[in-house]
Structure 1
């Protein structure tokens, strides 16, 4: 009688420093996760395919294949969430990681409680996004995007969006909390062969805010991440 045991989510940690691997393992296991670890890029790719983790913590600086090369290979066949571990203040690493498909980044030295919170937030986001995708409707707060009817409602009122505005909003709403660089948005919405620049993204973001925000000058849905790009607010954010 009674329910079964809660399945422990599996996390793959990739770092070439044994002390960091052990530190992360202890903290993640203490928070109910199962941990597998890799010390280099090739081992990371092998374990990712073999173990099918729910989330990967991936250090940028690795011997042989670096973190960016590992991420590039992962994204060819897997959409598992990836959190990059970067050096403090290295914005170039953050932006490049996001452009290659990372879901988030944490700078070293990091607070283990913050890291665990980010992992849990990403896993919640993945579950909710999967559920929304099955229904064909994405709802965050008072904003609803209907994929099949190609319609957006704000506080019950239908708003008219251009095709590109709809695509941009769909991408952001389907990944609440995920930070996208301007280049990543440009390539995913406009395509890699688009010859415009990132100002195109800023213009469309501004127009979207004018249509969906109560106060476009102080947006609560589409948030600017200074020095990086944009993200859509988490579902639980006020």
Structure 2
């Protein structure tokens, strides 16, 4: 965890807050504490935490109501930490906007792992071409279904061409070096990476670019590698 990504703990039990704070600090993070819903919501607005650990049994408001209130303006992950074990209670919290649910008593190691997982997920943007098909200049690339079309017409790609396109598209907007692409597609460390890539990039450009000699989708970064443009 990073000190630029503070954690807010909303729990009325001082001992639990202390355990969570120690777990956060052990992962090099920083924690803010609140013993009730009102203070917790005020801290959330002021500190803009990257993650909120929330107890359901608060003295002034039910934790489910706090979830609803937070979701009116915040997309920060919410990890519910509660002694309520029933499936109905878990479903209520998750339906109210919580992202995960851990019952008390809990393992500190599991708590830390769940917090790290939520923070990682929060930082992840959608995978280009994966979470949603990527559409650019008449080309549609759907990685989930392994489908590429050019102005509505299916484009046939060989397995190697597909692997190369997937590596480029999932890093759209970022330059992939010759070595990175070679490792991602061929998975070996011998051979002439630049020559292999030159041949297969040429294949892809002939199938996808309006003008393969003046590519606008797959551009060359001289002496470094290639980049699939992100449309900006």
How far apart are residue 147 of structure 1 and its match? 5.5
RMSD: 2.3
Instruction: Look up the match of 1:26.
Output: 22
- Distance, in Å, in 2 between the alignment partners of 1:138 and 1:96 is 33
Counting only pairs closer than 5 Å after superposition, residues 107-186 of structure 1 correspond to structure 2 as 107-129=103-125, 132=126, 137=128, 139=130, 145-146=132-133, 148=135, 152-154=142-144, 156-157=146-147
Matched, 1:99 2:86: no
Q: What's the secondary structure of 1:126's corresponding residue?
A: helix
Higher radius of gyration, 1 or 2: 2
Q: Do the aligned partners of 1:145 and 1:151 also contact (CA within 8 Å) in 2?
A: no
How far apart are residue 151 of structure 1 and its match? 6.2
| Paired residue total | 145
- Distance, in Å, in 2 between the alignment partners of 1:7 and 1:23 is 18
Q: What's the secondary structure of 2:132's corresponding residue?
A: strand
Instruction: Look up the match of 2:83.
Output: 87
Q: What's the secondary structure of 2:116's corresponding residue?
A: helix
- Distance, in Å, in 1 between the alignment partners of 2:44 and 2:129 is 29
Instruction: Look up the match of 1:78.
Output: 74
Give the unaligned 5+ runs of structure 1: 1-5, 160-238
How far apart are residue 119 of structure 1 and its match? 0.9
- Distance, in Å, in 2 between the alignment partners of 1:62 and 1:75 is 18
Matched, 1:64 2:60: yes
Q: TM-score, normalised by structure 1?
A: 0.56
Give the unaligned 5+ runs of structure 2: 150-232
How far apart are residue 87 of structure 1 and its match? 2.1
